[in-house]
Structure 1
Amino acid sequence: MARRIENDLPKVRITANSLSQAMRIFNYGGSHKWKFYVGLVFLLLTGASALAFPKLLGILVDCAKEKDLSRANTIALALVGILALQAFFSFFRLSLFIDFTENTLANIRLALYKNLIRLPMTFFSQKRVGELNSRLTADIAQIQDTLTTTIAEFLRQFILIIGGIIFLAIISLKLTAMMLAIVPLVAVAAVIFGRFIRKYSKTTQDKIAESQVIVEETLQGISNVKAFANEWYEMARYSAKIKEIVAIAIKGGKYRGYFASFIIACLFGSIVAVVWFGVTLIIDGQMKDIGELISFVLYSIFVGASFGGIAELYAQLQKAIGATERVFELLEEHPEDIDALPGNEIVRINGEVRFDNVAFHYPSRPEVEVLKNVSFTAVHGQKIALVGPSGAGKSTVASLLLRFYDITGGHIFIDGKDICDYDLETLRGNMSIVPQDVILFGGSIRENIAYGKPDASMEEIETAAKRANAYNFVAGFPEKFETLVGERGIKLSGGQRQRIAIARALLKNPAILILDEATSSLDSESEKLVQEALEVLMEGRTSIIIAHRLATIRNADKILVLDQGQIIEQGTHAELINRDSGLYKNLSNLQFS
């Protein structure tokens, strides 16, 4: 799949500016740059030794005519020596290029990931994870191939073309003129024809992939297929797609047949034409002997093959420059100002929160005002609940408090200080969030609980687990706290994941706690255990509780009712439930009627 993505990478036009931009990649080579330059020297030596091969082979053939065995042995040994030198040069060229490439790409990957992870939420809200992952996989792989082989092969083919034409001209200008009129054109035509055939092959592969989607969808939803008695419909759908594949594959097969005929008729025919013309020149005395003709044919093959190969290599360079540009686009994105080193002591805050006429719209949707003049105060230790219909702006309040986004109007104060005056490490270091859909990392339970405090002792982790009602189920696993949770915590139930998240928050000991519908997707038994853990978690800290299930917030100190980005009601549960025609009362009636 990764290879197919690489093949689909867009090409960019190669200009002086695009080359200059792409050359910035060498800045990441650091102390390994010399390996690339020495590798280029070995590349030149490889090309030079390759050009000597046809000449010596022609001389060796002439030794048969002269019946000079001693000279033939000497030339044969020279050819063996050239082959040995080529092997020697090629080994060091590849070794040096690979060494340089891997070290350079390691630096790029690290720089890219460091910058990526520090980018603000405004960036991630406008980018897809698959697209970003492609930068770290397909684009980097394309750059890797280019630095390791494509540049070297492109230069090598260029050397063979220039050097080959020079040697051809020395042997015979007439024969060279004829060869240049035929062989390069045939080679380029073969490349174009080959690309056309590959396009057909890709279309076939795409159709096969579409057929696999049908199979996957059908098998995943097999209960629906059978419930609707749609087996025949699915069979017909798959059969139609298979017929498409067959039709395209047969058409592609015909084109491959044409291509084979073209190669035999044109490419080999052109070689026959060159040999024939060379023989006529020998007969006329315009060429010395058969050895020169052999050398000429070999140089012609070198030049023709290089013409054909260099076109494909040029396309690969275009893709690599495009990949480099996309990688540097990410590297040039401005990250958040997060510079604190791991283990640094976070300055503690008290936790008083005040929203003062806060207005906000998301950068991707400036026309939609999500919050409009929102004002409220939460003193230290208070439980503030946010309720309201979907899209009212409840989760946005939490995002602004964590400074995932900057507000577009008004002010947010924490302990009387503007939120923008805090560095992000201090601000977020004093907050914890327990979301509705808890995502755990693929390590152990211990590592996930310690995520809020990486240097925590085992005793602290166990204490946090006990307070979060998580210790009993963790102790029941054979590997206890070293149990692996699986990707995104898939090996644990929803209630277990929630309690791990609560333990993580307890260990961090935040001044401000955000609960984003933390019990809305749990069964009754899990909800009871999680709610008990949340009550422990909320003790002695400011809590912002986002809730759809009103039963979980009856004991909140203050309930804010949001609708269309505005606070339309506020008070305790008892106060709001007694308001006639109030939104809170209507929501409560809907849930408990």
Structure 2
Amino acid sequence: MLAGEVGGSQAVTRRLQPLRDLLPHVARYRGRVGLALLFLLLAAGATLALPYAVKLLVDGALARPPGGAPEEQLATIREHFLLLFAVSLLLGLATAARYYMVSWIGERVTTDLRQAVYAHVLRQSPQFFETLKTGEVLSRLSADTTVIHHAVGSSVSMGLRNLVLLLGGLTMLLTTTPRLMLSVAGIIVLVVLPAVLIARRVRKLSRASQDRLADTGGIAGEVLNAVPVVQSYGRETAEAERFGRANEEAFVASMRRTGTRSALTGFVIIGVFASLLYGMYGGVRAVLAGEMSAGQLSQTALYVMVVAGSVAVLAEVWGDLLRAAGATERLMELLAAHSPIAEPAQSVSLAEPAGGLPLRFSQVQFAYPSRPTAQVLNGLELSIPTGQTVALVGPSGAGKTTILQLVQRFYDVAGGAILVDGVDLRRLSLAELRRRIAVVPQEAVIFSGSIADNIAYGRAGAAPDAIRAAASAAFVDDFVRRLPEGYDTVVGERGLRLSGGQRQRIAIARAMLKNAPLLLLDEATSSLDAESERAVQAALEVAMAGRTTIIVAHRLATVQRAERIIVVDHGRVVEDGTHALLVASGGLYARLAALQFAA
């Protein structure tokens, strides 16, 4: 029996082990945890004192032998009722204080945990999001933290309180009727051991249920971010059915968990109640035999109710804790994720450049981690002097955008090195490196907020005059002046209230305001009409002056005026020169130019 109990205890510890990861977050608030435990013990102590007070009332007042004066008996009864009221007053105040303190701890820990996970995810490299859907991350931040909040802010407190009541009630029962309660305790042990086995199944199903729920979040997040495309292709019904299948799987997984947890709760309650009723039956027989007073029987009955009620609550709490353990495990997986793009052990600082930054790619080898066998860059050699404007052209998949991602160190090279001002960029802190880079991506990213907020995104606290100057240079001022609220106009989620060209010009203004020495333009004018493109090209020429600029473009008309055009194919530089020189050479660039300009 002892070996079985030890094994069961170890199994319980293993199943709840993920909850240990919450302890550092809870330990920050030791003072409040101490107060919560104090109020918990006071409430539990008051609950355990009530049956004893009832015993005193029954034996000392109601069961007094005849002959005493009625006034004396009423005074005695009054004293006992005042004692009961004092105990209940303590119980009420301690319970209210415990509830407030525990709720505060639950809210605070959940808020801290959500913030820690979110901040950690933001620091992950793009490789992290190649394998994990954004919707699943959101599900863990919302659904899983809700489960943990319920556990920390309610279940743990209820569990501890009812554990104290269970142990205290059993202690009082063993003190008043030791022989009877020893047999009851043996029966309870036989009930709890099978319950431990059922609980193992509950934990697995809880994790599966949370995973299926995250799947639905992943699908919803993916589709809701692409509603126009879904509607354009008439896929509303198909996407609703796909979500419905995932939703149904989540429902089935949830009901499996709920069914098993219900069986666990029912089994524990029935088993423990049956054993305690057996103890009550023995107590009634003892009263009839004159071995126990009526007050002792009342006390025993109330303690039986306390113990039985505690077991019922503990069974519910056990299910909550198992579910919280699964949710904690999923959140800790996010916190345990380590970005392969690590800060250097000892970073090097660059001098503040007067102009641009020189770049050099030395025998760079690279393949995306999700496709390790598909080599994207294969011994790339390229030098870009300070302040030069270089255009990267070539077929799709040649590695042009990859070069921009490597310069920002979203990924690390597999071989060779990228040198910024003669320093391997892996020796620079990420903040130091990215502070010197401004980017205009192919798909302009606009955040919910005002136009001014979006332009100042890369330079927090920029003066309104500086924001307007950048906006004017990027021809944003033209359309903003026509808006009722001007630069304070809220653009909506992902800037959906703006046209594609307007979003692109705001992204260009953002890069110009940052005023970084290295400017990266990835198809920066792809969303503009011909007239807007000419205007923005003029603005970009101003922005590129005195900076090292790398332009990636498929439309060769946008790169003809670049000081230097680099043709990349299969991860290598195959041609290097001006537009006129490359056209005259009759190579890959000449063929691409002939196709585009003929069209």
TM bin (shorter chain): 0.7 to 0.9
Q: Is the partner of 1:87 in helix, strand or coil?
A: helix
Partners of 1:223 and 1:586 in 2: how far apart? 32
1:559 is matched with 565
What residue in structure 1 maps to residue 321 of structure 2? 317
Tell me, in whole angstroms, the C-alpha distance in 2 between the residues paired with 1:429 and 1:24. Answer: 35
Amino acid at match of 2:413: I
In the alignment, which residue of structure 2 is the partner of 1:6?
none
Structure 1 range deviating more: 478-487 or 417-426: 417-426
How big is each residue's C-alpha offset from its partner over 1:502-527, in whole Å with a ceiling of 9 and x where there is no partner? 11111112222111112334444554
Alignment of 1:386 onto 2:401:
no
Which of 470, 473, 476 is matched with 2:482 structurally? 476
Q: Which of 416, 426, 439 is 1:410 aligned to? A: 416
> Structure 1 residues 37-46 or 308-317, which shifts more?
308-317
Counterpart CA distance in 1 for 2:248 and 2:358 is: 68
Question: Quick check: 1:346–1:429 contact (8 Å CA) kept in 2?
Answer: no
Say whether residues 1:286 and 2:291 are aligned partners. yes
So what's the TM-score if we normalise by structure 2? 0.77
Q: Give yes or no for contact 2:151–2:320 (8 Å, CA) kept in 1.
A: yes
Q: Give 3-state SS (helix, strand or coil) of 1:391's partner.
A: coil
Match of 2:6 in 1: none
Q: What letter corresponds to residue 78 of structure 1 in structure 2?
A: L
Q: CA separation in 1, counterparts of 2:116 and 2:211?
A: 34
Question: Relative to 1, partners in 2 of residues 1:266 and 1:66: Cα closer, same or farther, differing over 3 Å?
Answer: farther
The answer as to whether partners of 2:40 and 2:95 remain within 8 angstroms in 1 is yes
Partners of 2:419 and 2:306 lie apart in 1 by: 74
2:554 counterpart SS class: coil
The aligned residue for residue 45 of structure 2 is 48
Residue 222 of structure 1, CA deviation: 13
Q: Which residue of 2 aligns with 1:352?
A: 358
1:464 aligns with 2:464: no
Report what 1:504 is aligned to.
510
Q: Which amino acid aligns with 1:293?
A: L
1:79 aligned onto 2:84: yes
CA distance 1:511–1:141, change in 2 (3 Å): same
| Corresponding residue for residue 306 of structure 1 | 310
**Deviation larger for 78-87 or 115-124:** 115-124
Q: Equivalences for 1:62-211 in 2 at 5 Å?
A: 62=59, 63=62, 68-177=73-182, 179-180=184-185
* Cα-to-partner distance string for 1:135-190 (whole Å, 9 max, x where unaligned): 54344444433333222222212111111112222332454256446678779999
2:4 maps to: none
Shift of 1:587: 6.8
Q: 1:194 to 1:305 in 2, by over 3 A?
A: farther
Amino acid at match of 2:85: V
* Distance verdict in 2 for CA 1:482–1:358, change over 3 Å: same
Cα distance in 2 between the residues matched to 1:135 and 1:245: 15
- Verify the 8 A CA contact 2:265 2:312 in the aligned structure 1: no
The amino acid that maps onto 1:137 is S
Q: Once the 2 structures are TM-superposed, how far is the Cα of residue 498 of structure 1 from its aligned partner?
A: 0.7
1:458–1:240 Cα change, 3 Å: closer
CA RMSD of aligned residues (A): 5.4
Q: Give the letter for the 1:45 counterpart.
A: L
Say if 2:24 is the partner of 1:36.
no
Q: 1:65 to 1:201 in 2, by over 3 A?
A: farther
- Residue type of the alignment partner of 2:301: V
* 2:579 partner letter: H
**Unaligned runs of at least 5 residues, structure 2:** 1-8, 67-72
Letter of the 1:294 counterpart = S
1:260-291 deviations in Å (ceiling 9; x for gaps)? 999999888777655444333322223222x3
Q: Secondary structure at the match of 1:560?
A: strand
1:419 to 404, 416, 425: 425
Q: Secondary structure, in 3 states, of the residue corresponding to 2:568? A: strand
- Structure 1 segment 505-524 matched on structure 2, within 5 A: 505-524=511-530
- Displacement of 1:474 after TM fit? 0.9
Q: Distance in 2 between matches of 1:229 and 1:147?
A: 45
Q: Percent identity?
A: 37
Change (3 A) 1:182 1:592: farther
Looking at structure 2, the residues matched to 559 and 45 of structure 1 have their Cα atoms a distance apart, in angstroms, of 79
Could you tell me whether the CA contact under 8 Å between 2:441 and 2:523 is conserved in 1? yes
The CA distance in 1 between the partners of 2:247 and 2:414, in whole Å, is 55
Q: Which moved more, 1:277-286 or 1:474-483?
A: 277-286
Q: Pick from 564, 579, 582 the counterpart of residue 576 of structure 1.
A: 582
Count of paired positions: 577
Partners of 2:573 and 2:19 in 1: CA distance:
52
Using the size of structure 1 for normalisation, the TM-score is 0.78
Letter in 2 for 1:351: L
Secondary structure of the structure 2 residue equivalent to 1:559:
strand
Whether contact under 8 Å (2:268, 2:312) holds in the other structure is no
Superposed structure 1 runs of 4+ greater than 6 Å apart: 12-21, 181-272
AA matched with 1:311: A
Structure 1 558/232 Cα, relative in aligned 2: closer, same or farther at 3 Å?
Answer: closer
Q: 1:292 to 1:326 in 2, by over 3 A?
A: same
Look up the match of 1:296. Answer: 300
Q: Is the 8 A contact 1:359 1:371 kept in 2?
A: yes
Q: Is 1:350–1:415's contact at 8 Å kept on the other side of the alignment? A: no
Distance in 2, Cα, partners of 1:575 & 1:288: 112
Between the aligned partners of 1:217 and 1:372, the Cα distance in structure 2 is 33
Give 3-state SS (helix, strand or coil) of 1:440's partner. Answer: coil
Inter-partner Cα distance in structure 1 for 2:254 and 2:422: 71
Letter in 2 for 1:38: L
Q: Deviation of residue 465 (structure 1)?
A: 0.8
Alpha-carbon offset, residue 332 of structure 1: 5.6
CA–CA separation in structure 1 for the residues paired with 2:218 and 2:109: 38
